[in-house]
Structure 1
């Protein structure tokens, strides 16, 4: 049952942030009463958010981080990363919950998970770039640039209500890596 409501919980946190996702908003999003929520998540909203973060982390680990670390040839692994990122963020129509938590007061509560997510993404992409022949520092710098621009593109696409901007930025980043 917990796993079934995690997507609804994630959307409540995406839409309202950790602070704004009140229990009444969470009950509305999940369709469950307060009692049911507390039976499933005795630790309350903190436990709900932690479970959502774990689910997101699991998806990114299996769909993006591990394939980048292990995928051969590296160019195909990087290309698959861009495809997975575009699907996950619904071509710029879905905000990054990890980014939402990184910017809000939830950052203090979930800082370790947020740092780990971004650090592992950069490390995995840099590893793939190194296997493709890029130097150590160049790989890390390019990986940081790509992850930062993906996150920025999500924010900008949402702010301008222009999801196509996200897709355009991903295409530009693909070209940037191909020509680096």
Structure 2
């Protein structure tokens, strides 16, 4: 199994159970590796596993969500690409946001800086595109923050209701809402 596949399997456990509930037994079962083998790959244990998962998620976010915003083309096109890729990134609302999961409980202190940085990069990148679209910087920042809030909030609602409709609705209307004066 490749390191990326191993980290993907670990990510499923952290998403489902959170940091505290991602026991070594669950992580071992999900990966098919014994606890000793997990420690071979991740000598610092569960904290290193979660950090590796978070790093992989941030890399995927950079590639699929942020890169289109930073690309060429009109702001509206780039926002549409971001929206489409956000839907894929979260599997159309079926995949919990790992940033949100790791921002809670014991893991909050462990990963606060990484999570804050990841969210700020997304907000800052979206703000830049909105400024290019003609919004004043303060209004662009507010719209960018509200967008992330809506996406993240819809993912919480999806999980609580076991219904992806709130996420799908947010994603569907995201470009037009963002670009509305």
TM-score normalised according to structure 2 size: 0.95
In the alignment, what sits opposite 2:110? 109
- For structure 1, the residue ranges without an aligned partner over 5 or more in a row are none
Instruction: Give aligned pairs, total.
Output: 180
Q: Deviations over 1:4-47 (max 9, x none)?
A: 21111000000000011000000111111111111111111111
Residue aligning to 1:97: 98
The equivalent residue for 1:45 is: 46
State the TM-score, normalized to the length of structure 1.
0.96
What SS does the aligned partner of 1:37 have? helix
2:83 aligned residue: 82
Q: Which residue of 1 aligns with 2:23?
A: 22
The SS at the match of 1:62 is: helix
* Runs (5+) with no aligned partner, structure 2: none
**Structural mapping, 1:66-81, within 5 Å:** 66-81=67-82
Moved more, 58-67 or 90-99: 58-67
How far residue 174 of structure 1 moved from its aligned partner, in angstroms, is: 2.5
Q: In structure 2, how many angstroms separate the alpha carbons of the residues matched to 1:105 and 1:68?
A: 33
> What is the CA–CA distance in structure 2 between the aligned matches of 1:160 and 1:151, rounded to whole Å?
14
2:148 alignment partner in structure 1: 147
Equivalents in 2 of 1:132, 1:164: separation in Å?
29
CA distance in 1, matches of 2:72, 2:146: 21
- Structure-1 residue corresponding to 2:61: 60
1:104-134 alpha-carbon deviations (Å, 9 max, x no partner)? 2201000111101110010000011111111
Please list every run of at least 4 consecutive aligned residues from structure 1 whose deviation after the TM superposition is greater than 3 angstroms: none
- Contact 1:68–1:81 (8 Å) recurs in 2: yes
C-alpha offsets along residues 120-171 of structure 1, whole Å, 9 cap, x if unaligned? 0100000111111111111100000000110000000111111122101222
